[in-house]
Amino acid sequence: MGHDIVKQTPPLPDDLPAELNILLGVHFLYWKTAEVLDLTSSKARLSKNERGLLLLLEKPKRMGVLAEQMQILPSTLTSIADDLEGRGVVLRERSPDDRRAWRLRLTSDGVAMRQEIVGQVVHMFREVSGLTEPEIQMMSSKMLKIAQNIKANGLPEGAKSCP
């Protein structure tokens, strides 16, 4: 008879403490955003690390700082930078503070690409989360507090610290 089968997902537990509901929400949000961002990045031909680097380059930064922020080895960052530099997205230049060190900055194409990614992420987050503007602002403030607390008390075991 041509009936479409709609896959029903099982209901979520309704007896969990607030802390577990938060973690469950973070898990689903991460899962869905990763899926959407991977689709977006494939159109722009960006890997997850390339996308992460662009998002972190709001201003020129030393490569060692970027490697630490991304929790990757400096050699991995160099490879990512080589690729993006070859595509005209970033420029590598000597750090004015320490001429031995290199820093990266976005080209005008890189700035445009970063702005496009930020816009897509904002749109996608609003669509996926279903939150209102005040809820987003409140959640942003709480998540930043959590991030700062974790950083102040030590990153999780296994997080790379690059010199």
Structure confidence by residue, pLDDT tens digits, 34-92? 887 777 655 668 888 999 999 999 999 999 999 988 989 999 999 999 999 999 999 99
Tell me the DSSP string of 77-146: HHHHHHHHHHTTSEEEEE-SS-TTSEEEEE-HHHHHHHHHHHHHHHHHHHHHH---HHHHHHHHHHHHHH
96-137 pLDDT tens trace:
888 888 999 999 999 999 998 888 889 889 988 999 999 999
In the chain the domains, ranked by start, together with CATH numbers, are 26-149 (1.10.10.10)
pTM, full prediction: 0.75
* CA–CA separation, 27 and 69 (whole Å): 21
Yes or no: say if 38 and 95 are a contact pair by the CB < 8 Å rule. no
